[in-house]
Every structure is written in structure tokens, then in C-alpha cells.
């Protein structure tokens, strides 16, 4: 399988981490996002949404991180929950992540680190920071009751919700303020095969610098 991705993308990291922890054979295909790589005719022919990640598995082409995670989980029989009820709980957390957690964390991280300083708005950053803190409290509270978000073992729900939380750039998230999230991130990082985003995918701020 081929994953079109770049290191700075937390959504691509979710897909890459899922492929890796599900023990699938895959290779990264670097997309030069910061120089218009998702707007080329070739890329738009692959994914008309103009976003990474994109997974190619033979003739099958999939976009959107949650869809890719679900596909990899179904194909491998791993990371998806052990029952229909567990599967629904996995989806519940993935939808929460898409709407409340990663969408906010990703925007906030972009605003604070990758947008030119003269275009940054303190009002927008503060508003997004409040939304992120609320979502993190929800995750931290849930993890105070169990080791993993859905079921008795790690699932794609965990790999979705952690997607942006391993990045080193500041975006108002300090894991030491969330004891249960801190423990959970350590547990994910201890899984065989785990790698940090810039070690798992090509492309990083250091390369662009």
C-alpha cells in the first residue's frame, strides 16, 4: 500500500500509525503540501478533495483519515474492537475526534506555527484554545475510567484522538496538565512499532528550514 502524506499532517499521521501498528506493508509518498502539492492536477485526480492522506491499495484509492483507518482495521482484523458494541464506541470517539479534537488542534497548531506571524489573530487563537481545552478534558475524563478509549485494547479510536498530540510544536496543549492523557500517550508510544510523526513520514519543519 502507498500512503500519500507529509510529516506535518496530523491526519496523515493517524493513517500512517494505523498502518504501522496493524502490521501492514506500506510506503509513504511525500506530498509537498507547503509548495502546493495538493493543488496539482495530478493530485486532484487522485483526490478531488485536495487533502492528505490518500491511501492506494492496488486499484483502490481512499481519502479521509477515518475512512483509511477503518479500511486498514477491517483488512487487517486489528485495532477495530471485538464486538458490534465496541465497534460503535470506536466510531463514536472517531466522530468526536473529527469534530471536536483534531479539527481544532490542527487549526490551532497551523495558526500558531505555520501561518505567517502578521496573519495570526490572537482572538481566533484564544477561542480555538478554549475549544481544544474542553475537548481534551472530555478525553482525559474518559481515560480516568479506563486504559483505552473504546474497549479493552487499543483501537483506531485511540490512534485518531492522539493524532495531533505527539507533535512538538506549541499549540496550547501541555500533556502534564492532563494526567490521564499523559499516561495514555505513554501507553501508545510503548506499542511495538510506534514512531513519532516526523520519524514515520517524510517532511518536517526542519527540512523546510
Helix (H) or strand (E) holding 60: strand 60-63
For position 82, what pLDDT does the model report? Answer: 81
Condensed to tens digits (0 to 9), the pLDDT of residues 165-195 reads 999 999 999 999 999 999 999 999 999 999 9
pLDDT at 195: 98
Cα 153–chain centre separation: 19
Let me know the angle formed at the C-alpha of 176 by 163 and 174, rounded to the nearest 5 degrees.
55
Over residues 22-76, the pLDDT tens digits come to: 999 999 999 999 999 999 999 999 999 999 999 999 999 999 999 999 999 999 9
Give 81's pLDDT tier (boundaries 50, 70, 90). Answer: confident
Domain with CATH 1.20.1050.10 in the chain: 84-189
Is 205's pLDDT higher than 90? yes
3-state secondary structure of 164: coil
Grid cell digits, residue 184: 495514555
CATH 3.40.30.10 domain span(s) along the chain: 2-78+195-208
Q: What is the pTM of this model?
A: 0.97
Q: What is the CATH code of the structural domain delimited by 2-78+195-208?
A: 3.40.30.10
CA neighbor of 125 nearest in space, from 164, 82, 173, 83: 173
What does the pLDDT average to over 83-95?
Answer: 94
State what percent of residues in the chain have pLDDT above 90. Answer: 95
Task: Specify the CATH architecture of the domain 84-189.
Answer: Up-down Bundle (1.20)
Amino acid at each position: 500500500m502507498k500512503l500519500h502524506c507529509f510529516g506535518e499532517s496530523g491526519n496523515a499521521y493517524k493513517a500512517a500509525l494505523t498502518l504501522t501498528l496493524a502490521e501492514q506493508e506500506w510506503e509513504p509518498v511525500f506530498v509537498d503540501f507547503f509548495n502546493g502539492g495538493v493543488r496539482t492536477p495530478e493530485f486532484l485526480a487522485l483526490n478531488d478533495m485536495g487533502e492528505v492522506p490518500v491511501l492506494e491499495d492496488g486499484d483502490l484509492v481512499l481519502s479521509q483519515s477515518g475512512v483509511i483507518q477503518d479500511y486498514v482495521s477491517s483488512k487487517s482484523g486489528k485495532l477495530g474492537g471485538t464486538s458490534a458494541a465496541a465497534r460503535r464506541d470506536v466510531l463514536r470517539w472517531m466522530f468526536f475526534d473529527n469534530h471536536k479534537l483534531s479539527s481544532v488542534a490542527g487549526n490551532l497548531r497551523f495558526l500558531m506555527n505555520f501561518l505567517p506571524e502578521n496573519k495570526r489573530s490572537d482572538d481566533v487563537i484564544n477561542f480555538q484554545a478554549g475549544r481544544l481545552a474542553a475537548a481534551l478534558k472530555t478525553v482525559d475524563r474518559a481515560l480516568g475510567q479506563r486504559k483505552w478509549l473504546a474497549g479493552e485494547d487499543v483501537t483506531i479510536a485511540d490512534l485518531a484522538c492522539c493524532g495531533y498530540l505527539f507533535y512538538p510544536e506549541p499549540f496550547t496543549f501541555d500533556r502534564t496538565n492532563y494526567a490521564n492523557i499523559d499516561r495514555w500517550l505513554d501507553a501508545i508510544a510503548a506499542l511495538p512499532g510506534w514512531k513519532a510523526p516526523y520519524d514515520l513520514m517524510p517532511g518536517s519543519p526542519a527540512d523546510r528550514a
